[in-house]
Amino acid sequence: MEEFLTAHFWVAVGQIIMIDILLGGDNAVVIALACRQLPPQLRTKGILWGTAGAIVLRVILIAFALTLLQVPYLKLVGAALLLWIGVKLLAPDGDDEHSNIQGSDKLWAAVKTVIVADLVMSVDNVIAIAGAATGAGGQHQLPLVIFGLLVSIPIIVWGSQLVLKLMDRFPWVITMGGMLLGWIAGTMAISDPALKSWVPQDAVWNYAMGIAGALLVLAVGTLVKKQARVPG
């Protein structure tokens, strides 16, 4: 119980909520598209059941990810993916990932669409949240993940428009989110079992790698964004 009162736990909860808001804003779009053809009296049920199914599936995926990240070198792979996700957050490619999501006038067909679409689009969330949870340490990583998801999902589903407007109004929120992913990538990489005998596992190195990851995402993301603005 004492572990739930530590600063590490609540910092990780904050990271999970921010990750879900930044990377999971598409959830609300997916739900809206999948349920748009349902009769009005079934839309609330479609939203609730689809969201519940997506949460359960994501918890299962993250549980697998937490286990897999104990295998040597997989944290290095996860860190590299997180760096790429952070750069992509700072310099999005503009592809429309929702163009192939079809609505349905049947409740369970719409619920299935929500769950499948969320599965396809949640790989980045799963990797980032697993990284944040492992960074918190301790034996309560999965409860930490579940708690963070339960707090952030309602924000995404019912407050996504407000969140999107805030991110449009204050672009630095996106920048800080990308740098957070870089920080998690750096701290994840240094804790890989394959590196524990090579790299000191102390707070100084942990912070140094986190800062290096955050600055790398900022530098590469800024460079990619500038190049995208230059006419070909």
For residue 204, report the phi and psi dihedrals to the nearest 5 degrees: -60, -50
Digitized pLDDT (tens) for each residue of the chain, 232 residues in all: 555 566 777 787 788 877 777 776 666 666 766 777 778 778 778 877 877 887 788 888 888 888 877 788 888 888 888 888 888 878 766 554 554 555 566 777 877 877 776 666 667 778 888 888 876 665 667 787 887 777 777 766 665 556 656 767 888 878 888 888 899 888 888 888 888 778 777 778 888 999 999 999 999 999 988 887 765 4
- Contacts of 45-48 with CB under 8 Å at 24 or more apart are 45/107, 46/107, 46/110, 46/111, 46/114, 47/157
Spatial distance between the Cα atoms of 46 and 54, rounded to a whole number of angstroms: 12
- The one-letter code for the residue type at 138 is G
State residue 211's pLDDT score.
94
Taking the alpha carbons at both ends of the chain, their separation in whole angstroms is 57
> Given CA atoms 39, 110, 27, 169 in this order, what sign does their dihedral have?
negative
What pLDDT does 162 receive? Answer: 63
Supply the pLDDT for residue 74: 84
Q: What is the pLDDT of residue 212?
A: 94
CA 46, CA 177: separation in Å to the nearest integer? 30
Residue 119 CB neighbours (<10 A) = 15
- List CB contacts of 72: < 8 A, sequence separation 6 or more: 192, 193, 194
Q: Write down the pTM of the prediction.
A: 0.71
Positive or negative, the CA dihedral 34, 40, 44, 46 is negative
The predicted structure's pLDDT at residue 219: 94
Q: What is the DSSP string of 119-187?
A: HHH-HHHHHHHHHHHHHH-SS-HHHHHHHHHHHHHHHHHHHHHHHHHHHHH-THHHHHHHHHHHHHHHH
